[in-house]
């Protein structure tokens, strides 16, 4: 397994913060449905999909041949009701039917609109109306959320949603038309590699989400490149506890396993104990999780009597990954956590660490760009390429880029410039070898008395304190300075610090003007569906007097 070790082509000495694409991998001019058909033909007897049920037990499973057969049948049913390019939405947790609907929609030339299962009435209405979805696959309920009842209430008011389908009712899923599958054998439309296949609504850390329209070739090749660098091989087992409505679940995990002919274990709901038992009993090789999950996993693994795992690799991203967590995971499982960076609009992976990176790059960087991607750091105002290690906006360009924001040309033109650079809105730096480091969000940059302050620098410094587990730096309005620095944090279990303690610690590391003026202890973070902290929500909660300010 050498694909997760840095090849000679990626040893570079850059002069500026621009990493031209390295073309070490072929870009496949293909569709998702075509790749599933290939897998059925060349690896039909291999296990493709395994259900991990809510209680952690193993449920149903499909070989690649069985999976393709079911997906093809559903695609034929779908194409009877919808013409190519029609939007259909799925609102459900990580059921295996989610994967089948994803593949079936791609075979039928439809566009799958993915919806967060924690959404409530207004949020569901927003997504359905913005996407103009004609059909909704929905679960009865999830974590106490009465999804079916909410969906019925919403769709009754939206005339273009023609049908609701219970995703867990197999007969309803496949019995929507009396015509037999044989009579529909030639009914599927021709699908092209750059046809849209999914609309994924962005996490919305700064406001209302936008629908990123992604295409077959971009999603599939990005997942393939991601898993190649992870080191996933044919027959390996990947445990997916990331949400399917997000590109980490529907792209990196689902399509990555397809590309490498690996087995996709889909976990209905994350639970640390269930996770540890599945990793042990099913001999899982690879996985991804967010940092908060890994904290719970480590606690459970230490107190449980688990045998040595068969893990070969694991990855995390979406938010800050403390260096101490990376080291502790390596001590526990014997593999290095490969930090990944991306965003929905990029299908989603932009950079990823290598398994044999230096400790510094493993713990304090986002890795190097994937093959076939141009990545640069640019001045947010002038668009010029920044110098090495200078803070600017992370931009990337390649076949991974979304087609557009659905029915939002203004937002599209603001994000993708005339030279096809996608502007991520994230601030970062690039060193001479092309390793990227995050510095915050362009819109989250704090301007205190005319001085630019980057939240990530302060967050990283605070995470070096052993009693702090998680932190978010947010700009707060101030009459004198325009903005001041606010710090929202969680302490390690059983630990407490005062604002005096915290100021004393941080002033040894950063200048006084960057020192937070307000310190707030958090019990539960307001999170997006993909695990990112909604910083604007923290600002709103503090303003409403709902949070505990430390003295």
CA 283 to chain centre: 24
According to DSSP, the residues that pair with 491 across neighbouring strands are 468
pLDDT at 203: 61
- How does DSSP classify residue 514? G
| Beta strands per DSSP E along 379-534 | 392-397, 404-405, 422-430, 436-441, 446-448, 451-453, 468-478, 482-491, 518-521
Average pLDDT for runs of 10 along the chain of length 551: 85 98 97 99 99 97 99 95 97 98 99 92 92 98 92 96 95 67 66 99 68 99 98 98 95 99 98 98 96 91 93 84 89 96 96 95 95 97 96 97 97 97 95 93 78 82 93 88 91 92 89 91 87 86 93 84
What is the structure's pLDDT at 381? 87
- Cα dist. 164→95, 140, 190, 311 in Å? 17, 11, 26, 40
Widest CA span of the chain, in angstroms? 75
Can you list the domains of the chain with their CATH numbers? 28-430 (3.40.50.12780), 449-549 (3.30.300.30)
Which of 217, 251, 236, 202 lies closest to 102 in space, CA to CA?
251
**Residue 208, CA distances (Å) to 15, 134, 135, 212, 534 in order:** 38, 22, 23, 13, 12
Residue found under tokens 């997000």: 246
Q: What is the pLDDT at residue 208?
A: 65
Q: What is the DSSP letter of 156?
A: T
Judging by DSSP bridges, how do beta strands 196-201 and 111-115 pair with one another?
A: parallel
Q: Provide the strand spans (E) within 303-373.
A: 313-316, 337-342, 349-352, 368-369
- Which residues are paired to 452 by β-bridges? 447
Q: For residues 339 and 337, give the distance between their C-alpha atoms in angstroms, rounded to a whole number.
A: 6
Cβ–Cβ < 8 Å for 434, 368: yes
Question: What is the pTM for the complete model shown?
Answer: 0.85
344 close to 212: Cβ distance less than 8 angstroms: yes
């Amino acid at each position: 397994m050498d694909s997760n070790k840095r090849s000679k082509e990626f040893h570079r000495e850059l002069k500026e913060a621009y990493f031209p694409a390295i073309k070490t991998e072929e870009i496949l001019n293909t569709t998702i449905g075509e790749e599933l058909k290939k897998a059925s033909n060349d690896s039909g007897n291999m296990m493709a999909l395994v259900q991990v049920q809510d209680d952690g037990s193993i449920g149903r499973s499909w070989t690649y041949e069985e999976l393709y057969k079911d997906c093809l049948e559903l695609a034929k049913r779908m194409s009877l009701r919808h013409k190519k390019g029609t939007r259909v939405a799925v609102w459900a947790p990580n059921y295996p039917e989610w994967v089948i609907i994803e593949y079936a929609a791609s075979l039928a030339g439809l566009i799958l609109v993915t919806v967060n299962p924690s959404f409530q009435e207004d949020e569901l209405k927003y997504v359905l109306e913005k996407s103009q979805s004609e059909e909704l696959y929905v679960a009865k309920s999830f974590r106490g959320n009465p999804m079916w009842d909410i969906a019925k209430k919403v769709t009754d008011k939206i005339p273009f949603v023609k049908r609701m389908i219970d995703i867990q009712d197999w007969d309803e899923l496949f019995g929507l038309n009396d015509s037999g599958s044989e009579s529909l054998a030639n009914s599927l439309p021709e699908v092209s590699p750059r046809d849209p296949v999914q609309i994924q609504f962005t996490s919305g850390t700064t406001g209302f989400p936008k629908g990123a329209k992604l295409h077959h070739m971009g999603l599939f090749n990005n997942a393939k490149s991601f898993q190649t660098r992870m080191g996933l091989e044919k027959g390996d087992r990947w445990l997916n506890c990331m949400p399917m409505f997000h590109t980490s679940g529907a792209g990196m995990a689902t399509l990555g396993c397809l590309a490498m002919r690996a087995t996709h274990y889909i976990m209905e709901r994350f639970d640390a104990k269930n996770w540890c038992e599945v990793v042990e009993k099913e001999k899982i090789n690879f996985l991804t999780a967010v940092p908060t999950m890994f904290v719970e996993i480590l606690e459970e693994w230490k107190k449980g009597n688990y045998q040595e795992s068969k893990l070969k690799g694991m990855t995390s991203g979406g938010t800050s990954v403390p260096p101490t967590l990376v080291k502790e995971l390596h001590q526990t499982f014997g593999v290095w956590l490969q930090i990944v960076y991306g965003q929905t609009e990029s299908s989603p992976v932009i950079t990823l660490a290598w398994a044999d990176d230096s400790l510094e790059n493993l713990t304090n960087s986002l890795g190097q760009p994937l093959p076939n991607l141009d990545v640069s750091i640019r001045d947010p105002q002038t668009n010029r390429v920044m110098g090495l290690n200078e803070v600017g906006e992370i931009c990337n360009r390649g076949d991974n880029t979304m087609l557009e924001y659905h029915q939002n040309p203004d937002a599209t033109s603001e994000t993708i410039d005339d030279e096809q650079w996608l502007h991520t809105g994230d601030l970062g730096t690039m060193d001479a070898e092309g390793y990227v480091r995050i510095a915050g969000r362009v819109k989250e940059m704090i301007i205190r008395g005319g001085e630019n302050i980057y939240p990530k620098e302060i967050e990283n410094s605070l995470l070096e304190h052993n009693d702090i587990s998680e932190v978010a730096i947010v700009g707060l309005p101030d009459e004198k300075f325009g903005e001041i620095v606010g710090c929202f944090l969680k302490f390690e279990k059983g630990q407490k610090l005062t604002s005096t303690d915290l100021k004393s610690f941080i002033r040894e590391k950063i200048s006084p003007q960057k020192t937070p003026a307000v310190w707030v202890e958090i019990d539960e973070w307001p999170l997006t569906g993909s695990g990112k902290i909604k910083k604007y929500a923290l600002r709103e909660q503090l303003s409403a007097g709902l949070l505990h300010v430390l003295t």
